[in-house]
Amino acid sequence: MGRLFTQLSIVLLILGVCLLSWFGKVEPPNRLQLVKQRDKLVVLTHFGASTFYRSTEGPGGLEYDLAKRFADRLGVELVMAVADNPDELKLQLETGAADLAATGIAATPLRRQRFAFATAYLQVRPQLIYRAGSTRPDGLADTLEGSLAVLAGTRQEWLLSRRRAEIRRLRWTTLTDATTEDLLYRVWSRRLDYALVASNKFTLSRNFYPELRVAKDIAKPQGLAWMFRRDGDTSLLEAANQFFADLRASGELGRLIEQYYGHLDKFDYVGTRVYMRHITDRLPLYKGIFQEAASEHQLDWRLLAAMGYQESHWDPGAVSPTGVRGIMMLTRLTARAIGIDDRLDAEQSIRGGAIYLKRMLSRIPENIPQPQRTWFALAAYNVGLGHVTDAQAITKMQDADPSSWAAVRTRLPLLTQKRWYKRVKYGYARGWQPVHYVENVRKYYRLLVRITEPAIHDAQRVKAGTALIERTSPFYLRSAAQSLY
- Would you name the residues annotated as active-site residues? 311
Say how far apart CA 424 and CA 426 lie, in whole Å: 6
Q: Are 235 and 124 in contact (CB under 8 A)?
A: no
Say how far apart CA 193 and CA 175 lie, in whole Å: 15
45 strand-pairing partners:
82
Q: Are 273 and 476 in contact (CB under 8 A)?
A: yes
The CA–CA distances, whole Å, from 216 to 24, 142, 334 equal 59, 11, 48
Q: At what angle do helices 346-363 and 301-312 cross, to 10 degrees?
A: 110
Q: Longest Cα pair distance anywhere in the chain, in angstroms?
A: 113
Q: Are 400 and 370 in contact (CB under 8 A)?
A: no
* Cis? peptide before 371, omega within 30° of 0: yes
The CA–CA distances, whole Å, from 296 to 57, 289, 484 equal 17, 11, 20
Tell which residue, 355, 348, 296, 341, has the closest CA to residue 327: 348
Q: Which residues contact 170 (CB under 8 A, 6 or more apart)?
A: 140, 141, 143, 144, 160, 163, 164
The CA–CA distances, whole Å, from 343 to 124, 299, 480 equal 46, 21, 27
- Rg (alpha carbons) of the chain, rounded to whole number: 28
In total, the chain counts a number of residues equal to 485
Q: Are 159 and 128 in contact (CB under 8 A)?
A: no
